[in-house]
Chains A and B, each alone.
Chain A
Amino acid sequence: MSYACAITEDQRDCYQELTNVAMGRAAERLAKLLDTFVRLPVPRVSMIENSDIRMAIQEVGQDSSVSAVCQGFAGSGVVGETLLIFKDTSFANLADMMHYSGPLSRQAELELLMDTASILIGTCIRGIGEQLEIDFNQSHPVILGQHCQTADILRSGNSTWNSTLAIEIHYQLENANVECDLLLLFTEESVNILNKKIDYLLD
């Protein structure tokens, strides 16, 4: 398979390490908010084609009902999209941890989703930007779906992402049934700019 742009193994490794640092910062903020411990995975960095995004997302919430938010970011010519996908079974636990009282309405779940998204997405994007000396601006988050199958997420959203570089982080809380996936997708044009910055770090 050929791509218009590509990353070398050294570059892939560097993206992974920058993500490692950024996701650690996000986990710290979430852990403090929820008074819990976030189990951190090794992030997955890969080049994928547009059609593969669908597969990547479907892997995330296999056979389970999910809710998802997306949020764009841009800076120094680098443009991307983040996608946060929560397993719906997470919300009852999240509500407990955030000391929500009363019945868990759709609206309350939405608030939980948005609160968590702003921490996980915002901190991660800023963390990566900071290490690459890029000041990212973020657009408003958009709900892609509540209580739906992952296949529906792309159908409902503007699935015109032409991204090639994908970074996937699977967050899991210890001793609590809370699980989500954060996907960072960069446009093809961005990868060349990012690679230059990465090469500078690798020098």
Chain B
Amino acid sequence: MSLNLLICDDSGFARKQMAKSLPPDWKVDIHFATDGVEGINAIREGKGDIVLLDLTMPNMDGFGVLEIIRREDLPAMVIVVSGDIQPEARKRVLDLGALAFIEKPIDTDKARQVLTEYGILTGI
């Protein structure tokens, strides 16, 4: 069974950027969510083994998503991809259980580095 990867961002442009930044030879099923509420639903449906999560979103922001994942102990490895590069934002998401933080705009090098560092990229 292949991994399910969820890209959660309100911007279509950003979702595309994230999808394009992933290693092309990486075998994952990619799913998309356009805000935090959709994101949580997708994770509950098992579509988010790995989640690339934006912070600034309408309806429910990335902080809210992380809080629910923690409260409900949902099985998701979250990598935050955000333009909110305040040290405090980074600290908060890591405290809330995110694995890593990638500064926007994301690119292939940044994605590969983080995925490799946390042992998520396997078999390539």
Contacts and interface: CB of A to CB of B under 8 A. Distances in A.
Given A21-B104, A42-B56, A28 B11 contact: no
Interface stretch (A12-20, A59-67, A112-120, A155-163): A12-20
A38 interface: yes
Contacts of B14: 17, 20
B10 A37 contact: no
Contacts of B22: none
A178 to B, nearest CB: 15
Interface in B19-70: 55-58
Contacts of A85: none
Contact of B56 (A20, A25, A28, A31): A20
A40 to B, nearest CB: 5
B56 A41 contact: yes
A24 B14 CA distance: 15
Given A24-B104, A41-B56, A42-B57, A201 B13 contact: yes
B109 interface: no
Contacts of B105: 21, 131
A10 B12 contact: yes
Interface residues of A, number: 23
Given A20-B56, A21-B105, A13 B13 contact: yes
A32 B87 contact: yes
A131 to B, nearest CB: 7
B72 interface: no
19 contacts: A13-B12, A14-B11, A17-B13, A20-B83, A21-B104, A24-B83, A24-B85, A24-B86, A25-B85, A28-B86, A32-B87, A37-B88, A40-B56, A42-B56, A42-B57, A42-B58, A131-B105, A201-B13, A202-B13
Closest 4 CB pairs of A and B: A24-B83, A21-B83, A17-B11, A31-B86
Interface of A: 10, 13-14, 16-17, 20-25, 27-28, 31-32, 37-38, 40-42, 131, 201-202
